[in-house]
Amino acid sequence: MTDTTTARPPERATGAMSYDYVTRTVAGTLGNPGRGYYTLLGTAVTLLGIGILCLLFLLRYGLGLAGYSMPTYWAVYITCFVFWVGIAHSGTLISAILFLFRSGWRTAVYRVAEVMTVFAVMTAGLFPLIHIGRQWFFYWLVPYPNERGLWPNFKSPLVWDEFAVGTYFTVSTVFLIMGLIPDIAAVRDVATGWRRKLYAVTALGWRGTNEQWRHYRPAYLYLAALATPLVLSVHSVVSWDFAMAQVPAWHETIFAPYFVAGAIYSGCAMVITLLVPLRKFFQLERIVTIRHFENLAKLCLLTGMIVCYAYCVEYFVAWYGGATPEREAFVYRAVGRFWWAGWTMNVCNAFLPWLLWFKKVRTNISALFVISIFVNVGMWMERFVIIAIHLAGEPFEPFVRAGYNATWADWGIMAGSFGWFFMWFLLFVKNFPAVSVAEVKEELAAPRRGAARHA
């Protein structure tokens, strides 16, 4: 890359930002990756490689290589699926719902969140395909006209899932692209060399004419309006994979809201996890400020409290409902053979967020970073507990109660999923504006005559 994009504007780093500053700062994040970036990318690709290797073994020899054992028919793979779908949620929440709420602070962070969303769904989508027994027949779940005249079963929550996740992926991608167009145009106009060509193509001829804005704005609004119920529905549908089943500790009406809250919770945590280093490496301190982090933290706090409440309700209902299997299931979660998983989840998701009540913590980046990591771990563990542990502790049929031990095949493919996600994420942030240019400008005071001129 040439200097033009990377050259920082000479002006002072304090005071109100100018449009120009925003454009150049964001443009500055693109191109000339350093050694650190390549190390990260390399790590991600290696992880992905490991995952693919494990997957090949799995395809050749069968799911027996993973840790499954009757009655634990679902385990790490589905856990990862739910985990990644969950991660995906904050993206659309921040970009769509907060957009409808006209909360301005979103502008600085929503792009990262959205990118995260798209790639997280991409990752999540892989797991249902990996975990089925005959992966090569995955397309049988799709209603396509076939010689045998067979159709999928639309009563199956798995088919709902397929539709929900598919829709979610498509819509969030559309949403991301919509947001990107003006910004790509912005960096196009300051870029040179091959990037200029790339952006010239990907900007789809955006010039910011009144006609373009005229159609663009409402479309963006409608998309936000569509995405809002979607984001709430997707994880509800995912939760119904479990809530529709008879398994005690799955068969709960609270699951939909509980899962959605959990998803947004984990999503926000992940946004923080990603944003902290990003802000540092890309020197976005002035665009992404403490205020943004505090707001994210507040979101975490809210959703975290909901999750905490959900945990309590689960236990309460298990006791109050009086259904023995339900009760047994929750005793098992608390003091059973996998108590450690249960308590990791409780501590990370239900206890830690209470720290966020303190402004000191909310405004302390490193504290937030640490907490966000814990929340991520906790949320993964939550899904693991719900899926693997409650299946292992099958309460209806005492005779088949069994343990569960994950194997290299489980961990390998899980690691692969992280590699896959971060590979895409890293590739994106170095090549496309990771912070919205146009929308950040909306938050700034427009230059007027009389007002002091910058540059």
Partner 1 sequence: MRSGSRVAAGIALAMATSVPAAAQSGQPAPAFTAPVISDTGSLHGPRQPIFFRHDVHAGQNRVPCLYCHYSAAISSEPGIPSVQTCAGCHMMVGGSTPTYQAEIKKVRDAWNHKAPPQWVRIHALPGFVHFPHLRHIKALGSESCTTCHGDVGHMVQVYQVAPLTMGWCISCHLQKQVTRDCLVCHY
Partner 2 sequence: MSEGMNRRRFLTVLGATGGGAAALGACGVDPERSQKLIPYLVQPEDQVPGTATWYATTCRECPAGCGLHAKVREGRVIKLEGNPESPINGGRLCARGQAALEGVYNPDRLGDPLARGVQGKLERISWDDALAQLHAKLAAARGRIAFVTGNETGSFGDLVDEWTKAVGATHVTYEPFAFEALREGNRLAFGIDAVPWYDLASARYILSFGADFLDTWLSPVAYQNAFARAHGFTSGRDVTMAKSVFVGPRMFLTGMNADEWVAATPGTEGLLALALAAVIVEERLAPLPADAGRLHELLARHAPAAVAGAVGIDAPAIERLAREFAGAQGGVALAGGMATHYPNGAEIAAAVNILNYVAGAVGKTVRFGPNQGLARGTFRELTDLVTAMEAGKIAVLLVHGANPGHSLTGAFWQAWGKVAYKVSFSSDLDETASAADLVLPDLHPLEQWSDSRPRAGVWALQQPVMQPVAANARPAGDVLLTLAGKSGTFKDYLQTKWRPLAERHAHGKSFEEFWPELLQHGGLYVDVPRQWVRLGPQATELMREAPAPPRFAGEASDLVLIAFPSAALYDGRGANKPWLQELPDPVSKIAWHAWVELHPETAAKWSVTDGDFLLLQSPFGAVRAPVWITPAIRPDVLGVPIGQGHRAYGRYARDRSFNAFDLLPEAPNAYGGRTFAVRVAARTTGEHRFLASSEGDPRGVGAGEDIIKVLPRATADALAPTAHPFAEPAPPAYAAGALAGWAEEQRAGAALGNYAGKQPRWAMAIDLARCTGCSACVTACYAENNLPTVGEELVLRRRQMSWMRIERYWRGGEGRGAGEGGEPLHGVVTPMLCQQCEAAPCEPVCPVFAAYHTPDGLNGQVYNRCVGTRYCANNCPYKVRYFNWYNFAEAGGEWEAWPSPLDWQLNPDVTVREKGVMEKCTFCVQRIRGAQNRARLEDRTVLDGEIVPACAQSCPSEAIVFGDLHDKTSRVAQLAADPRGYHVFESLNTKPGITYLARVVDRGA
Partner 3 sequence: MKPGPALAAIFHPPPTPGVLGVFGHLDATVEAIRELKRGHATFTVYSPLPRHELEEALDQPVSPVRMFTLVGGIAGCAIGAWLTLYMSYDWPVQVGGKTIGSIPPYVVIMFEMTVLFGALLSLFGVAFNVLLAARHQGTIAYDPRFTNDRFGIFVPAAAAEAGTVEALLKRCGAEEVRRG
Q: Report the interface residues with partner 3, using CB under 8 A.
A: 18-20, 23, 143, 149-155, 159-160, 163-164, 166-167, 170-171, 174-175, 177-178, 182, 185-186, 188-190, 204-219, 222-223, 226-227, 229-230, 233, 237, 437-439, 441-442, 446-449, 451, 453
Nearer to partner 2, 209 or 253 (CB): 253
Nearer to partner 1, 35 or 148 (CB): 148
Query: Which of partner 3, partner 1, partner 2, none sits in contact with 400, Cβ below 5 to 8 A by type?
Result: partner 2
Nearer to partner 3, 60 or 453 (CB): 453
Binding-site size for partner 1 (CB under 8 A) equals 4
Residue 206 near partner 2 by CB under 8 A? no
Least distance between partner 2 and beta carbon 77 (Å): 11
Query: Which of partner 1, partner 2, partner 3, none sits in contact with 208, Cβ below 5 to 8 A by type?
Result: partner 3
Burial of 329 by CB count in 10 Å (0-12 exposed, 13-18 middle, 19+ buried)? buried
Nearer to partner 3, 16 or 335 (CB): 16
Residue 141 near partner 2 by CB under 8 A? yes
If DSSP codes are grouped into helix, strand and coil, which group holds residue 96? helix
| Number of residues that make up the chain | 455
DSSP states of 19-85: HHHHHHHHHHTSS---HHHHHHHHHHHHHHHHHHHHHHHHHHH-GGGSS-BTTB-S-HHHHHHHHHH
Residue 147 near partner 1 by CB under 8 A? yes
Residue 102 near partner 1 by CB under 8 A? no
Least distance between partner 2 and beta carbon 69 (Å): 4
Between the two ends of the chain, the Cα-to-Cα distance in Å is 24
Name 16's Cβ contacts closer than 8 Å, sequence gap at least 6: 444, 445
Q: At what angle do helices 365-384 and 290-321 cross, to 10 degrees?
A: 30
CB 297 within 8 A of CB 356: yes
Residue 149 near partner 1 by CB under 8 A? yes
Nearer to partner 1, 103 or 146 (CB): 146
CB 121 within 8 A of CB 165: yes
Phi and psi (nearest 5°) for 69? -160, 140
CB 186 within 8 A of CB 23: yes
Restricting to residues 23-82, name those near partner 2 by CB under 8 A.
61-64, 68-71, 73-74
CB 85 within 8 A of CB 124: yes
Angle (CA) 294-257-341 rounded to 5° is 80
DSSP states of 109-168: HHHHHHHHHHHHHHHHHHHHHHHSSSGGGGGGGS----TT-----TTSHHHHHHHHHHHH
Least distance between partner 2 and beta carbon 393 (Å): 7
Alpha-carbon torsion 417, 107, 308, 253, what sign? Answer: negative
Residue 194 near partner 2 by CB under 8 A? no
Q: To which H or E segment does residue 318 belong?
A: helix 290-321
Residue 148 near partner 1 by CB under 8 A? yes
Nearer to partner 1, 149 or 322 (CB): 149
Least distance between partner 1 and beta carbon 145 (Å): 11
**Among residues 9, 31, 33, 157, the one that binds partner 2 under rule CB under 8 A:** 157
Nearer to partner 2, 65 or 367 (CB): 65
Of 178, 186, 181, the residue nearest 22 (C-alpha): 186
Nearer to partner 3, 71 or 152 (CB): 152
Provide the binding-site residues for partner 2, judged by CB under 8 A.
61-64, 68-71, 73-74, 128, 131-135, 137-138, 140-141, 150-153, 155-159, 162, 241, 244-247, 332, 336-337, 391, 393-394, 396-403
